[in-house]
Amino acid sequence: MSSHTEKEFQDLLKEQASYEEAIGLMAWDMRTKAPKKGIEGRSEVIGVLSSKVHEIQTSDQMKAMISELKGRTSSPMMERAVEEAEEMYLRTVKIPAEEYREYVTLQSRAESVWAEAKDNNDFALFQPYLEKLVDFKRRFAEYWGYEEHKYDALLHSYEPGMTVRILDEVFPKVREALTGLLSDIQASDNKPDPSVLEGHFPKNQQAAFSEEILKRMGYDFEAGRLDETIHPFAIGLNQNDVRVTTKYDEKDFRTAVFGTIHEGGHALYEQNISKDLAFTPLADGTSMGIHESQSLFWENFIARSESFWKNHYPVFKNYAPESFKELPLSDFYKAVNEVKPSFIRIEADELTYCLHIMVRYELEKALIGGEIEVKDLPYLWNRKMEDYLGIIPSNDGEGVLQDIHWSGGDFGYFPSYALGYMYAAQMNAVMRKDIDVDECMEKGNFKPIQEWLRANIHKYGKMKKPLEIIQDVTGEGLNPDYLITYVTEKYQNIYKLSK
């Protein structure tokens, strides 16, 4: 093993990470502050910089360093970095450089067109861009290779080790449990009154409360910021610059408050990855499923719990309109946990959330497999929404165009949300054996929770693979029973259902 080569390898990884940080900053700017006329030129710049990343990842220099260092590094961290770089090399080198640059430029343009199409409920405007993106992804899947289903090649980008075979075993079990519970809830005479949450809630007061909660969660505002966007996201430029965005609705505070907490969960993960991993491919969440487990843990298992609001409801009232001043906590808690099928995924209640994901998964799988075409999506989307949630979108803005993911070519991403929810339920069950989570929330003391997550998940970054994290933390692989038990017990309580 050559220490000289190891130093050169680290320098090369740092150069790659620097380009990626610049691309990330431009992407954040395009989604938050950039003027419309600047989008076209910015897309070209992102394309150029992404080509530089592609060049580094597939360079002869990278290939030679991986070959020399593999199995001969000075530390486990460096060995994992080599392993990660090799996997990226093997996947990336299969895509022709010019084709990759064309794809990245298309991504940036498509996102801008998607936003316009969404605002105008005009799928036809977005359709030609989406068709090109799907063509790219079908080709990429062939380049990468797969054993059983073409979609497996795309799943691997977000959740290594996950396959269509596994999802098609797990998802139907969860869907059956959720739709059965949903049917019981809709038949119940003990429904919360959501009207108690109505009333004008000024954006600036929602922002102030959201910032207060982020600070209490442990989000470091000296290493991040909160901004407004059309579709909420968190982005880690580096461990000292992890940004959160949210969307405000002055008629429904839940969109911003729970959305901000969700993105805050993502950000806490990135802010607490070990600093030793900086400027390596390991300074990131190990998979999108594990990433989603962190955001959904905070959003649902913490922020939608009665214990959380016992402490934070008085704080909430300091920012909320007068109409909340006399509202009992029990009524408030039940109302924020109302189960009601809705069109918008990011506004879905926690019981129906996974059903939204299954709609998208089934369409993506069929699309990449060539069983359906892009032009079929609006019709098929509406049919699946009717089948699973009993509702039909009135326009494409609240239907097939609502998510940003497809405009970025992120096929294979959506299952991560449902997987993350299942992972979070498993982690929640184990955490409660180690610490009194309810007592922590009632006292507003999140430190034990933060430290547990940091020690068991956050600090590792990509040092551990997703299935390793789940196995090490919970003592077993993916098990949907924890999620089914959690939602069943919670909603039997709220809706007074027979057990």
Active site members = 263
Helix and strand numbers, DSSP H then E, in the chain: 20, 3
Q: What's the length of the chain?
A: 499
Strand ordering across the sheet containing 234-238:
226-228, 241-246, 234-238
CA distance 140 to 155: 12
Of 132, 170, 102, the residue nearest 425 (C-alpha): 170
CA 418 to each of CA 168, 170, 485: distance values in angstroms, whole numbers, following the listed order: 13, 10, 15
CA distance 385 to 390: 6
User: CB pairs under 8 A, 24+ apart, for 184-188?
Assistant: 184/495, 184/497, 185/339, 185/351, 185/491, 185/495, 185/497, 188/495, 188/496, 188/497
Which letter does DSSP use for residue 242 in this model? E
CA angle (365 as vertex; 360, 366 as ends), nearest 5: 100
Give first-to-last CA distance, the chain, whole Å: 63
Amino acid (one-letter) located at 334: K
Of 252, 253, 244, the residue nearest 206 (C-alpha): 253
Look up residue 363 and give its two tokens: 């369409």
| DSSP element (H, E) containing 33 | none
CB 228 within 8 A of CB 245: yes
CB 267 within 8 A of CB 235: no
Across 175-320, the runs of DSSP E, i.e. the strands, are 226-228, 234-238, 241-246
Bridge partners of residue 243, in order along the sequence: 235
Residue the block writes with tokens 């990470």: 17
Q: 125: buried, middle or exposed (CB in 10 Å: 19+, 13-18, 0-12)?
A: middle
Residue the block writes with tokens 């551990």: 464
CA angle (381 as vertex; 173, 137 as ends), nearest 5: 90
CA distance 256 to 242: 18
CA distance 48 to 43: 9
> Pairing relation of β-strands 234-238 and 241-246?
antiparallel
CB 157 within 8 A of CB 141: no
